[in-house]
């Protein structure tokens, strides 16, 4: 007996999610698995669907707090301006009478980040804020980039609280760069300034 599907049928796995966490994993394994997925243990698949000015991408599934979530990224483009929702999720608590007697209190919304951009030369502007928290840590990151004619400015940073067994650590990082013709001396020209600490 053949394991192949009948001729003309194409079978693909579009989404994948672990509903049962593996036990006896070391802290190193936990961090590695968290980096391989979206914060919160969301497994996503690359999907791109455009409907007018709205585009959807990176759809995924998540089960937490007794609710089943569908999570995706969405971008709305209005001329030179665009807005993005990162990790936007709609969840519901599934029950026996979910489809026959739907209850609005069973539904939940969540959002992991926001982004916005303006592309109107000579001005280019972009900003992003995202919640990258996982069960093992709280982590928030954001950045902004501005470019006008010969000048450009970039800044980004992050703040987090990490718990390791009974200890708690705080992490902070900041980086900024200004590039362009700033100061002209007789023997040199300063074209940029960079600062960073953490």
- Is 36 within the bounds of a domain? yes
**Residue 198 · residue 172 · CB < 8 Å:** yes
Given a cut of 70, whether residue 137 has pLDDT beyond it is yes
- Is 109 within the bounds of a domain? yes
Most confident of the following: 90-94, 100-104, 120-124: 120-124
Average pLDDT of the chain? 79
* Number of domain units in the chain: 1
Question: Could you tell me the residue range of the domain that residue 80 belongs to?
Answer: 27-197
pTM higher than 0.75 for the full model? no
- Is 9 within the bounds of a domain? no
Q: Partners of 138 in the beta sheet?
A: 161
The string of pLDDT tens digits covering residues 40-69 is 556 677 778 888 899 988 888 888 777 888
- Is 18 within the bounds of a domain? no
């Amino acid at each position: 007996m053949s394991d192949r599907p009948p001729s003309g049928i194409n079978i693909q796995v579009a989404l994948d999610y672990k509903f049962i966490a593996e036990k006896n994993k070391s802290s190193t394994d936990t961090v590695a698995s968290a980096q391989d997925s979206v914060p919160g243990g969301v497994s996503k698949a690359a999907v791109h669907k455009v409907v007018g000015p709205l585009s959807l991408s990176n759809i995924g599934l998540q089960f937490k707090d007794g609710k089943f979530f569908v999570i995706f990224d969405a971008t709305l483009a209005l001329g030179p301006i665009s807005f993005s929702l990162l990790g936007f999720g709609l969840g519901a608590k599934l029950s026996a009478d979910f489809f026959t007697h739907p209850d609005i209190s069973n539904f939940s919304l969540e959002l992991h980040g926001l982004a916005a951009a303006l592309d109107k030369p000579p001005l280019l502007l972009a900003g992003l804020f995202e919640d990258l928290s996982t069960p093992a840590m709280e982590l928030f990151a954001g950045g902004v980039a501005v470019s006008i004619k010969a000048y450009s400015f970039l800044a980004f940073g992050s703040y987090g609280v990490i718990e390791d067994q009974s200890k708690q650590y705080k992490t902070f990082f900041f980086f900024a760069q200004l590039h362009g013709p700033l100061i002209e001396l007789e023997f040199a020209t300063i074209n940029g300034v960079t600062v960073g600490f953490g």
